[in-house]
A and B are shown apart, each in its own frame.
Chain A
Amino acid sequence: MSEILEILLSANFWAASLRIATPLIFGVIGALVCERAGVLNLGIEGIFTAGAMAGWMAVWLGAGLWGGVLVAALAGAFFGLIHAILTVPLGLSQHVSGIGVTLFATSLSYFIYRTALPDVSSPPRIEEFEPLNIPGLSDLPFVGPALFQQTPLTFLALFLVVATAYVLYRTPLGLAIQAVGDNPSAVESQGLSVYGLRIGVVVVGSAIMALGGAFLTMSAFDAFFFGMVNGRGWICIALTVFASWRPGKALLGALLFGAFDAFQVRLQTEVGAFIPGQVFLMMPYLLSIAALIVVARKADYPRALLVPYFRGQR
């Protein structure tokens, strides 16, 4: 027991929780806005990979860290646009299109990386984001190292949660986005474009997802590896349902998830000798499935999710 308490009382543990949660926050917020507008975006896993690769490569080619973030977001927007065109005006299956975008974005990223760097055995490294030093806050005892010594992308993720909640609940645009995911013909009758809203939201949501990938190569690790996304995108899709499509709950879900992951990594060093490492590695996926089961009965899906809208035909 004392080991568990020791873990929970270390600032290091809380800092790690927030760090692990950061890519998930980007991913869940991106998936959440797409689904709020009625479009399931299973391209997320590939968009993470594209964001990770594009952001890393831009920095490696000398674009600077924020230039890399911008390139990652543009890559995400590009794949989001493909998904949006296929699923919104063309009304194709959101499941299959999403899987297709994931396969396309992943293989394109791998191909470009391999073509640019044919012979490297150890991936080249970049200067990654340094933790911000916020005068006053970062120096606080315990709270400082636990919460305020993160890289800028973590603070960007937290800002995006607030911004998304504000836009969704406090602006006419947010109300239109919610309506287009619940009752698109009502939106049309208000003289707004269902297609325009949905395409716009999927493109922006995908750009946000890609930042989660960029965090992996530009803050968490300083290089790009094949398979580095490792299901994080799918976990975000599960967390979106868990969060009932609410930005605040999405942040909470991602943080709980990060805390659990940080906890089990630390627990592993205590009991790792008795339990195979794979058991710990399985935990995030099993936890995501458990989260889905817990909320399954009361999940209140956006009513027009997965339903294509054809003007004047319904």
Chain B
Amino acid sequence: MIRFEPRGPVGVSRMIAVPVVAAVVALILAAVPMMFAGLSIFEAYGLMVTGAFGSLFAFTEMLTRATPLILTGLAAAVAFRAKLWNIGAEGQLYAGALAAVAIGTGVVSGPSYILIPAVVLAGALAGGLVMLGPTLLKTRLGVDEVVTTLLLNFVILLFVQMMLEGPMQDPMGMGWPQSEPVLDEAALPKLMARMRIHWGLILALVAALGVYFLLKRTVWGFEIRAVGENAAAARHAGIPVTATFIRVGLLSGALAGLAGVGEVAGLKGYLTADLSPGFGYSGIVVAMLAGLSPIGVVFAALFIASIFVGADSMSRATGVSNYLADLIVAMALLSVLVSGLFLRFKIRFVGANTTREAAE
């Protein structure tokens, strides 16, 4: 028999050890599919490291990839803190990107200091509103938000495709389903010349700090944590549970919407239906690796981004499929779940006889 004995408060070192162990385990497990694909293990890991850190260009590419992951990671972390299971960051990201394109491609014109905030706010608002629906369905009617947010991902992606083949298609786009380009005044500026890294990264870091202070230092943050720990008890203690869920839903959706703004207004410059390679779902992994801590999200996003960028580069060099990156990320999620147990519990393996004696 396995027995779990709860530990007391845990120190920071153990909180950091859990995701690090999980990441190492995932990377070791990845050796199995690598061997299956006929790779030489050390060479492949080496290619991944140089692919993510080997040059200034590689490093900025990794940071560029981490930018949406920080935001979707925060979206999942803040929602999961309240046990609001928002699995819809992928759809909210697209909603944010669509809103950014709707505002930023010439409908309104003006200087950067007006257009950039307008695009950012529009994207955040669109993401938040998309999450408001499932949140209200949960609080008003008791509809499970996991399934509604998951299903909405498909609806929104189809809606984006419809807009890109219809009213929002670029007339100069040779018939491709893509939006008009974002105006220069509405685009997030680049951080470095000749690199793709952009101000979305700063936005994401500010958002992480903002969420940190919200959770740690404000009444709303306290309420979010209380609702997440025990909604019934929180309600009994007079905490406005419904209002808290709605605030969390709006904030979580808005953060995911910002990820879409960054990708379209900072990186790509126009919207296509393949904008996100699953940033919304990877955000869940980021949040779990971070132990739902907003500062941890930044580091977890850097790790996941280096896996993706490193595996892309390794894939180009060896011809092995870069689905390997998705595989490592998925294994990291499963490993961090298990290693998290060691954070919260002492695990004792007890013989069947001793359990029976203990019961008597």
Contacts and interface: CB of A to CB of B under 8 A. Distances in A.
A115 B320 contact: yes
Interface residues of A, number: 50
Nearest to B166: A276
B151 interface: yes
Q: Is the interface of A mostly helix, strand, loop or mixed?
A: helix
A279 interface: yes
A286 B155 contact: yes
Nearest to B278: A103
Contacts of A313: 4
Interface extent on B, as a size class? Answer: 35 or more
Q: Is the interface of B mostly helix, strand, loop or mixed?
A: helix
A99 interface: yes
B24 interface: no
B334 interface: yes
A264 interface: no
Contacts of A91: 4
Given A86-B338, A100-B334, A100-B337, A110 B326 contact: yes
A166 interface: no
Given A103-B329, A108-B327, A276-B162, A234 B150 contact: yes
A311 B33 contact: no
B146 A42 contact: yes
B323 A111 contact: yes
Contact of A100 (B2, B152, B333): B333
A111 B162 CA distance: 30
Interface in B166-225: 166
Contacts of A238: 147, 151
Contact of A278 (B137, B147, B158, B358): B158
A313 B148 CA distance: 34
A285 B152 contact: yes
B142 interface: yes
Contacts of A118: 319, 321
Contact of A235 (B151, B158, B319, B340): B151
Contacts of A90: 338, 341
Interface stretch (B54-62, B100-108, B230-238, B280-288): B280-288
A288 B137 CA distance: 14
Nearest to A301: B144
A292 B333 contact: no
A220 interface: no
B40 to A, nearest CB: 15
B331 interface: yes
A282 B334 contact: no
B14 to A, nearest CB: 18
A91 to B, nearest CB: 8
Contacts of A230: 154
Interface of B: 1-2, 4, 33, 36-37, 85, 87, 137, 141-144, 146-148, 150-155, 158-159, 161-162, 165-166, 281, 284-285, 288, 319-321, 323-324, 326-327, 329-331, 333-334, 337-338, 340-341, 355, 358-359
12 contacts: A86-B338, A90-B341, A100-B337, A104-B327, A104-B330, A108-B33, A276-B162, A282-B158, A285-B155, A289-B148, A289-B152, A299-B142
